[in-house]
Structure 1
Amino acid sequence: MRNKIVLLLSDQLGQGDRGLGQTVLETFFVLLKQQEEKPAAVFCMNRGVYALTDQSLASVHLKELADAGVPVLACKTCVEFYQLADQLTVGEISGMNYFLELAGKHEVLTIS
């Protein structure tokens, strides 16, 4: 995972039952934070920015990744669209330019 960027596009994993998708996403981040090699960054776009709020159980695990030195980033345009700037509990707001810079240096693992 060390040379990968996790691109999170939703606040759930998969398109089935919403509750199940949120649980599966939380499990993904629980397991990811336990890996010896952490990703280079986690970048959240579209509804993925909700995972950085108290509305998502994944936010706890994303905070632990951030505390372990993994940059956790939120798409500025998406945060503004969903009006979540004051609700983010983890992560930093970032722009598409930085995502493109990261994507140019690392493989992108898309989670949707």
Structure 2
Amino acid sequence: MKQDLVILFTHYGMGDGPQDLQQTLIRKFLTLWFESGQIPAKMIFYTDGVKLACQGSPVLDQLKAFEAQGTEIVLCQTCLDRYGLIDQVSVGIVGGMGDIIEALQKAPKVITI
């Protein structure tokens, strides 16, 4: 079931612990959320979060599964440009700050990871 919800991803992982722990947590989080059947309307990635949707990310399979179920995945172009990742996007669409603002303004619920 699709939820009218936006999830923001701002880290290359989850939390502020050691990188390996962050990666383990985000993998587990996305897997369990998908298994719950509650699919968010949008996932937005900015700052370090854009790295989760690029080549080499440990959660590409999970993100592609969400996208296949109808979740719109939007990546910040400014952030991708800053990290030199624009040609490494593996899932989602590249958007701008206007897209992020519009999604946040329309969403009845936003969760930041």
Pairwise same-fold verdict (TM > 0.5): yes
Q: For residues 12 and 37 of structure 1, what CA distance do their matches in structure 2 show? A: 21
Identity across matched positions, percent: 29
Could you report, residue by residue, the CA deviation over 1:63-84 in whole angstroms, capped at 9, with x for unpaired residues?
Answer: 1111111001100100111110
2:53 maps to 1:52: yes
What residue number does 1:20 align with? 21
Segments of structure 1 that go 5 or more residues without pairing to the other structure are none
What residue number does 1:102 align with? 103
Q: For residues 36 and 9 of structure 1, what CA distance do their matches in structure 2 show? A: 23
Q: How many residue pairs were aligned?
A: 111
- 1:90 to partner: Cα distance: 0.7
**Secondary structure in 1 aligned to 2:100?**
helix
Structure 1 runs (4+) deviating above 4 angstroms are none
Aligned letter for 2:25? Answer: V
CA contact (8 A) 1:22 1:56 kept: no
What residue number does 2:74 align with? 73
CA contact (8 A) 2:41 2:70 kept: no
- 1:108 to partner: Cα distance: 1.3
Higher strand fraction (1 or 2): 2
User: Which of 30-39 and 59-68 deviates more?
Assistant: 30-39
TM-score by length of 1: 0.93
Aligned letter for 1:60? Answer: D
